């Protein structure tokens, strides 16, 4: 895939925006990091990076970092307890860089019952699913932090 496809999925990500989700993301209080392992040649990266970037843009306290699979290397694999880095691999981390959750390759519902990629995903019609999966990790972290604050007050 070329830059033309990346621009295509960027445009789709803008069209797939969920106003309520964006408002919730903009209200996040904690600081978070999303570290993504990606490659420019990867079709799944072309599809999902615009959606992941949209999450970071909507949330003022979320930083986004991108590295290649080669740069991630063995240390990355060991840290996250994985044998192979499937891309995109998005690690959602708190401000202390502790893992809160991860998104690997494509949304959970992007494959059919037989494990094949759906046409909806292939066409870029599931970008909002990517956004929701990443955002859900952030929302769970916010809820846990709020619960801890209530317990301590």
pLDDT, the chain, mean:
88
- Return the percentage of the chain with pLDDT > 70, whole number: 89
pLDDT given at position 15: 57
Give me the residue spans of the domains in the chain: 3-152
Q: What is the mean pLDDT of residues 15-39?
A: 88
Is the pLDDT confidence value at 150 over 90?
Answer: no
Q: What is 3-152's CATH number, 3.40.50.720, 3.20.20.70, 3.40.30.10, 3.40.50.300?
A: 3.40.30.10
- What is the β-pairing status of strands 32-37 and 62-67? parallel
Query: pTM of the entire structure?
Result: 0.85
Rounded to whole angstroms, the Cα distance separating 45 from 68 reads 11
Rounded to whole angstroms, the Cα distance separating 52 from 103 reads 10
pLDDT given at position 152: 82
Q: Where are the beta strands (DSSP E) in 7-145?
A: 32-37, 62-67, 89-94, 99-104
pLDDT given at position 1: 44
Tokens at residue 100, please? 């809160």
pLDDT given at position 124: 85
Is the pLDDT confidence value at 51 over 70?
Answer: yes
User: What pLDDT band is residue 18 in, cutting at 50, 70 and 90?
Assistant: confident
Instruction: For 64-121, write each residue's pLDDT tens digit.
Output: 999 999 999 888 999 998 999 999 999 999 999 999 999 999 999 999 999 999 999 9
Is the pLDDT confidence value at 43 over 80?
Answer: yes
């Amino acid at each position: 895939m070329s830059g033309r496809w990346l621009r295509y999925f960027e445009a789709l990500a803008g069209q797939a925006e969920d106003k309520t989700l964006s408002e919730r993301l903009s209200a996040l209080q904690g600081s978070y990091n999303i570290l993504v392992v990606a490659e420019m040649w990867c079709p799944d990266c072309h599809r999902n990076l615009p959606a992941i970037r949209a999450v970071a843009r909507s949330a003022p306290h979320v930083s986004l970092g991108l590295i290649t699979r080669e740069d991630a290397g063995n240390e990355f694999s060991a840290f996250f307890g994985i044998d192979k880095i499937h891309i995109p691999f998005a690690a959602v981390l708190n401000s202390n860089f502790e893992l809160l959750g991860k998104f690997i390759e494509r949304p959970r519902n992007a494959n059919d019952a037989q494990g094949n990629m759906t046409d909806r995903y292939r066409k870029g019609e599931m970008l909002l699913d990517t956004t929701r999966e990443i955002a859900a990790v952030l929302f769970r972290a916010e809820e846990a932090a709020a619960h801890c604050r209530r317990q301590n007050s």
